[in-house]
Structure 1
């Protein structure tokens, strides 16, 4: 289990956290709020589209956006969700572990502290700290 800045403990069960990570409406609310995910099928080999919109956390201008395409690599319900960027083949993997106080979520990349804090707040029904 990972207890560093690439993970967060969420006081919810694995199924609720899984749904926050893999449902496109939910992930659009906490991951880069204001941007949009489209995950038509949660199946290995399927495509997912993410459209990054301007925010205080990027350098995009008001009417700019960056569409990105991903391919789903691995789906183990309530345990692991992995996808790769079609532009550079970077693989992003979320792993979900039960803990006595809730569920730990780890991601295999640095630089996701704000997103993990938002995921925690969203899953626990609190206001997002980073919008």
Structure 2
């Protein structure tokens, strides 16, 4: 994964998109469906935990999982959510801004195409395309 920005237009207001990004149940629904996010406190300096489960989009076998820990680095309500992987210090930044009647979400990483498509579908109340 390189550090080229990816963005997508979402036909939903920034508040809806923000809750899709920062609520652990919502985040778990669209990001690597079947895997689980835990965000006990939405505050810079707090930990977020992610358990990646097997899917057709990764190399994990049935019964395997990968636990990852992240440190939340920035929380600007309805605007920016960022966190850093504790293992390799990879920094993920999600920016949300109003655009036309909806929102534009930009993430600072290439390789998020499928996830952004899922985020768009989730925030717009549609079926996820990438499960």
- Structure 1 residue 32 and structure 2 residue 32: aligned? yes
Structure 1 stretches of 4+ with a deviation exceeding 6 A read none
The RMSD of aligned alpha carbons is 1.1
8 Å Cα contact 2:9-2:120 kept in structure 1: yes
Q: Deviations over 1:89-119 (max 9, x none)?
A: 0100000010113100000000000000000
User: 1:50 Cα deviation (Å)?
Assistant: 0.2
Equivalent residue number for residue 97 of structure 2: 97
Structure 2, unpaired ranges of 5+: none
TM-score, length-normalised on structure 2? 0.96
Whole-angstrom CA distance in 1 between matches of 2:49 and 2:5: 26
8 Å Cα contact 2:5-2:107 kept in structure 1: no
User: 1:18 Cα deviation (Å)?
Assistant: 0.1
Taking the TM superposition and a 5 Å limit, the aligned residue runs for 1:18-57 are 18-57=18-57
Corresponding residue SS for 1:114 = helix
Whole-angstrom CA distance in 2 between matches of 1:124 and 1:14: 12
User: 1:5 Cα deviation (Å)?
Assistant: 7.2
8 Å Cα contact 2:5-2:109 kept in structure 1: no
Whole-angstrom CA distance in 1 between matches of 2:129 and 2:5: 16
TM-score, length-normalised on structure 1? 0.96
Task: Give the aligned length.
Answer: 128
